[in-house]
Structure 1
């Protein structure tokens, strides 16, 4: 299914819905370290881009615009009640664009969290992140951590490499289009030592919102959020609840 239920133990109506968008080369299941630290009465959804790893029956998105259309079309009919969106790396760019699309349809989220990404309007003003991203993410998806024999690991590595390459092509294809500042509350998350989204540059997201944009950083690199899952989730939950309480 395109929408993954990451809190299947939930019974009854959710107090809130949180939608998670994965990083390049990953999937929604990669958010597993965060799940124990999210409220038990929340519905938590992950939306994977098509064509991931063994999902060869679905065509991959060829452009960033196709990815945004896919995510919007997948989510649209399912959303009801208050919801928030959080994306990491590539997922942050896509979450921002999906939030803009939903706002234009008067269905915007309560809160948008973006993590591990430069501000969209700045991507064209700095060297493309795809080369260092390919190197960094290839290390994260190294062979040593996978089960199976040598041939199995190499076969899986090839699948991951193809998925990662296709996802990073979306980053290269992405072009920011100026528009109305977000009305949705926006928060920025990052690692203090992230080479792909330097902490000093995260404040540039503030130009895209109509209200204040708090910026939260933790020690670590691009995947800081998994090293500080409890603290990151505490900040995420507090941010969501502050907006739903106001509403």
Structure 2
């Protein structure tokens, strides 16, 4: 069995080390993927285009595939891109066994202000002070990174690039469904947590959802629970063999 982890905005291949520890020595091979411009791919140019980011992930997965069943897990931006990655892999006749999406309420949702007008998000172009406020609200970014100019000058462009990938065009494909099951999980203080079941509109297979206490980065508080969900997929597949 293989597990491919897709990182959140500003993340890299080390972002899921806390989860990989829980899966060590289990009957699953874990691959934490990353987009260019960070981590082990620091010397590559950042991507600003959603389609290119999706194809980059697809290329990585195809190169690592071993013909065994596999799972795709994505948090936040990883879930947004992961949905289209799953669709691409299905079209390659190599569909995953399960898609696990966290910190994300799924495609097609719009944000409106108090007067009912749609809010167009362009967080990637905000001035530094406003951008930092957005990051503080989301959580997950250490305050020392936000307050230290040298650190923020390093990480800021990476996060902005990822936000640009997310915010220019929404989900790359509209009105599509995937054929593999979806398991969606969100933190109860996330603004769209009450809309988590939106995901069920985008799969032709089984759908499960759950909401856990926490903010957008609740995943760091529940590594055992998330690992358990992933391993349950592995065990279910083994029973079929």
Q: Which TM-score tier does this pair reach, normalised by the shorter chain?
A: 0.7 to 0.9
Structure 1 residue 184 corresponds to structure 2 residue 180:
yes
> Is 1:95 equivalent to 2:82 in the alignment?
yes
| Correspondence 1:36 to 2:21 | yes
Q: 1:237 to 1:217 in 2, by over 3 A?
A: farther
User: How many angstroms apart in 2 are the aligned matches of 1:238 and 1:128?
Assistant: 39
1:88 CA displacement:
0.2
Q: Quick one: structure 1 residues 43 and 144, their matched pair in 2 at CA, closer, same or farther if it must change by over 3 Å?
A: same
Give the Cα separation in 1 of the matches to 2:52 and 2:219.
27
Moved more, 224-233 or 37-46: 37-46
Structure 1 residue 112 and structure 2 residue 99: aligned?
yes
| Equivalent of residue 59 in structure 1, options 45, 53, 59 | 45
**Equivalence for 1:72:** 58
Distance 1:19 1:194, change over 3 A: same
TM-score by length of 1: 0.81
* Structure 1 residue ranges (4+ consecutive) displaced by more than 4 angstroms after TM superposition: 53-56, 123-126
Q: Is the 8 A contact 1:141 1:160 kept in 2?
A: no
How many residue pairs match? The answer is 225
The whole-number CA distance in structure 1 between the counterparts of 2:85 and 2:99 is 10
Could you tell me which runs of 5 or more consecutive residues in structure 2 were left unpaired when the two chains were aligned. 113-117, 124-129
Inter-partner Cα distance in structure 2 for 1:69 and 1:225: 26
Mapped partners of 1:55, 1:106: distance in 2? 28
Choose the corresponding residue for 2:168, options 169, 173, 196: 173
SS at match of 1:222: coil
The TM-score, its normalising length taken from structure 2, stands at 0.83
Q: Provide closer, same or farther for how the CA distance between residues 56 and 110 of structure 1 changes in structure 2, counting only shifts above 3 A.
A: closer
Q: For 1:140 and 1:217, locate their aligned partners in 2 and report how far apart those are by CA, in whole Å.
A: 18
Contact 2:89 2:95 in 1 (8 A): yes
State the alpha-carbon separation in 1 of the partners of residues 218 and 195 from structure 2: 16
- Aligned equivalent of 1:21: 6
CA gap of 1:246–1:129, structure 2 versus 1, over 3 A, is farther
Cα 1:31–1:129 shift into 2, 3 Å: farther
Task: Pick from 130, 153, 156 the counterpart of residue 158 of structure 1.
Answer: 153
